Amino acid sequence: MKIIRTITKYKIIVGWGTIALLVALSRELSADTLYQNQDAANVLQTSLKCNEFTFDASRSRVPISPNLSYFWDFGDGTTSTEPIVIHTYQQSGDYEVYLTITDNSGFECTAASTSQKVRVNIPPHASFISLDQACVKKEITFDAGSSYSETQKKLDYSWHFGDGDTRRGFSQVNKIYTKGGDYRVRLTVDDKNGTPCSKQTAEKMIHINEPPAAEAGDDVIFQCFNGNEDVMVHFDASATTDANHDPLTYLWDFGDGNQGNGIKVSHCYDKVSNYDVRLIVSDNTNLGCGTGVDFVSVKLSRAPEARAGDDTIACVGEDIDFDGSRSFVHKKGTAFAQWFFGDGTSSKKLHAPHRYNQPGTYQATLTLENKLNAACPISRDTRSIIINSSPVPNIQNQASACVGREVFFDASSTVDAQGDDLIYYWNFGDGTALQAGSKISHTYEQGGHYRISVVVDDQKGTSCSTATAYANININTPPIANAGPNSSCCVNKEVLFSASASSDPDKDRLTYTWNFGDGNEKQGENVTHTYSEAGSYNVRLTVNDLKGSYCSQSTDGFTAVVREVPIPSIDIR
């Protein structure tokens, strides 16, 4: 329900620290609005300046008499009569501030008052103690026991150590830094009042010293003597680092009773031996963690000399002796020997047999390496190994031929992996043998089955210099066809045709084909045929010994006379 009132007197309405004097003459106000402004006066106000507040009543006014006077009561025993007052509270707490304004008009309603509650939060005091400098990986104590809050509330502690590490909840903590450097340590204390002034921060720089990382170069320095002269060895510590970038000093102990100073130094050793060199680097601090040490082992030796032996020729699969025992090694047992046979294989023995599986010319290399001193150059010696393989002969020839005809044989497709000049020894299987080229011809005088061979020689004189190839050939004697004598017969009369008088000198099985001259054919040694018309017919017999040569067939024939059968007739008159 909405209540409307007519106000003839003025009332003071206060909202969130701003005082407004409203004089409402013959003006309607909502009672709900008045109630809302009364509630707002009970809200606690805070200041971004913690305990300093600005109170402003300059907007207060009375339309009839603007001659106002002001009286402030700040709730802490202090007052003011200025319209705008900057007031600083000395203690934290909640205060109710009263403002009274007077228009000096002499009327009954000459004064009005209002109030506002404020919360004062004086920031807590943050402080801590610790070492100003310390060594890396050493525990440091940070103590914030001197921090306090005027409200006597228990503080919350938050630590940031500058290396990404944070802690919370304890006034005293222990910390270990793992890397040298300068770190900004920040402590934040919180009185948990929930205001912008509830936190306070204290900071401190702490120096963490890390020993220099001494780096003397290679862990082992190998160097070789050539003869009996002195050996100069160079040392370099320029890779040394210091996380704190301190100025460094360098001391070298060369292991032979001598010392040197500097980042880069050289030292001359007068005999072959092994020396332990020490580098000491100092950052000249007084924290007990200002020194770094590194070690170098210096190994001095004389280089070996490899001797692989003489060149060799051998056959595929034949064992070859590789013996490097004539090589020079200054001290027995200090050389690492290895044979590289040139075919992708190797052996780690000074004396090693080896066989090659493919023909060719190989460079077998013996290497000798001082296994105690990598600075000694590897010594190498090479011997040439010629690996011979047998030629691979091949005979190309026809499978069959005829008696008395020239037959050609071809071994030119013979393969020799080394491309050697080859000699050919032929044997034709009929008692004829001779040395000739890769291509040759021969005439057989008698039919039959013959085995031909050719021996190929690469003239290297090894056990694998020759190889033999074989071939077979069938020499055919033509068959003799005999169709028999000329024949005569009658129409429609069955006649016998016989090739039984045919023969074959090689005793081959024969086939017989008859052509009767009237468009008909038959197979067989003895066949019959019937002519349907009278006339003379050329009969032809073809005999085949099935050897597939051009002399496998022969023919014979004759003329068959076919007469009509007489037809008798009787006339009676």
| Predicted local distance difference test score (pLDDT) of residue 8 | 31
Other C-beta atoms closer than 10 Å to the C-beta of 433 total: 12
Same domain, 464 and 507: no
431, part of any domain: yes
128, part of any domain: no
Same domain, 101 and 45: yes
CA distance 334 to 338: 13
Weakest mean pLDDT among 268-272, 321-325, 426-430: 268-272
Tokens of 231: 């050996």
Residue of 267, 265, 283 lying closest to 275 (CA atoms): 267
338 phi/psi in degrees, rounded to 5: -155, 130
Look at residues 188, 209, 230 and tell me which one is the last residue of a structural domain.
209
Same domain, 204 and 228: no
User: Per-residue pLDDT averaged across 400-427, rounded?
Assistant: 92
| Predicted local distance difference test score (pLDDT) of residue 30 | 30
Q: Judge residue 570's burial from the number of C-beta atoms within 10 Å of its C-beta, 0-12 exposed, 13-18 middle, 19 or more buried.
A: exposed
Taking only the tens place, the pLDDT of each residue in 477-501 is 999 999 988 888 999 999 999 999 9
481, part of any domain: no
Residue of 35, 43, 44, 42 lying closest to 11 (CA atoms): 35
CA distance 254 to 270: 12
CA distance 118 to 73: 12
User: Per-residue pLDDT averaged across 284-302, rounded?
Assistant: 88
Tokens of 157: 């502690």
Query: Residue 5 above 80 pLDDT?
Result: no
CA distance 542 to 524: 10
Which amino acid makes up residue 486? N
| Predicted local distance difference test score (pLDDT) of residue 334 | 77
Query: What is the DSSP annotation of 168-222?
Result: ES-SEEEEE-SS-EEEEEEEEEE----STTSEEEEEEEEEEE---B---S-SEEE
Report the phi/psi class of residue 458: left, alpha or beta, with left for phi > 0 and alpha for psi in -120 to 50.
Answer: alpha
Taking only the tens place, the pLDDT of each residue in 331-373 is 777 788 999 999 999 999 999 999 999 998 999 999 998 877 7
Other C-beta atoms closer than 10 Å to the C-beta of 241 total: 14
Three-state DSSP at 530 gives: strand
User: Per-residue pLDDT averaged across 363-388, rounded?
Assistant: 88
554, part of any domain: yes
Query: Residue 237 above 50 pLDDT?
Result: yes
Residues 544/553, Cβ–Cβ less than 8 Å: yes
Same domain, 287 and 367: no
| Predicted local distance difference test score (pLDDT) of residue 85 | 94
Given the DSSP bridges, would you call strands 181-190 and 199-209 parallel, antiparallel or unpaired?
A: antiparallel
295, part of any domain: yes
Query: Residue 394 above 80 pLDDT?
Result: yes
| Predicted local distance difference test score (pLDDT) of residue 6 | 28
Look at residues 268, 302, 336 and tell me which one is the last residue of a structural domain.
302
572, part of any domain: no
CA distance 39 to 17: 13
Which amino acid makes up residue 266? S
Other C-beta atoms closer than 10 Å to the C-beta of 399 total: 11
Residue of 475, 349, 468 lying closest to 407 (CA atoms): 475
H helices, E strands: number in the chain: 1, 46
| Predicted local distance difference test score (pLDDT) of residue 2 | 31
Other C-beta atoms closer than 10 Å to the C-beta of 182 total: 11
Identify the CATH number of the domain in which residue 332 sits. 2.60.40.10
Same domain, 429 and 462: yes
| Predicted local distance difference test score (pLDDT) of residue 327 | 87
Same domain, 166 and 73: no
Other C-beta atoms closer than 10 Å to the C-beta of 47 total: 20
Same domain, 526 and 434: no
Based on the structure, what is the number of domains in the chain? 6
Whole-model pTM over 0.85: no
Report the alpha-carbon angle 463-466-470, nearest 5. Answer: 140
127, part of any domain: no
Look at residues 168, 188, 209 and tell me which one is the last residue of a structural domain.
209
| Predicted local distance difference test score (pLDDT) of residue 66 | 66
Taking only the tens place, the pLDDT of each residue in 44-60 is 888 888 889 999 988 88
| Predicted local distance difference test score (pLDDT) of residue 63 | 60
Report residue 92's pLDDT band, with 50, 70 and 90 as the boundaries. Answer: confident
| Predicted local distance difference test score (pLDDT) of residue 10 | 34
126 phi/psi in degrees, rounded to 5: -105, 130
Same domain, 318 and 412: no
Residue of 528, 424, 511 lying closest to 467 (CA atoms): 424
Other C-beta atoms closer than 10 Å to the C-beta of 129 total: 12
| Predicted local distance difference test score (pLDDT) of residue 68 | 84
Same domain, 317 and 297: no
Same domain, 258 and 363: no
Give the structural domain span for 270.
220-302
| Predicted local distance difference test score (pLDDT) of residue 40 | 47
Report residue 67's pLDDT band, with 50, 70 and 90 as the boundaries. Answer: confident
| Predicted local distance difference test score (pLDDT) of residue 300 | 84
User: Per-residue pLDDT averaged across 490-515, rounded?
Assistant: 93
125, part of any domain: no
Residue of 231, 251, 179 lying closest to 208 (CA atoms): 179
Taking only the tens place, the pLDDT of each residue in 118-132 is 988 888 999 999 999
| Predicted local distance difference test score (pLDDT) of residue 573 | 60
| Predicted local distance difference test score (pLDDT) of residue 25 | 28
Taking only the tens place, the pLDDT of each residue in 139-183 is 999 999 999 887 777 899 999 999 999 999 899 999 999 999 999
Mean pLDDT value across the chain = 86
Same domain, 49 and 116: yes
Query: Residue 286 above 90 pLDDT?
Result: no
Produce one character per residue of 266-292: b if its CB has 16 or more CB atoms within 10 Å, e if not: ebebeebeebebbbbbbbebebebbbb
Same domain, 189 and 259: no
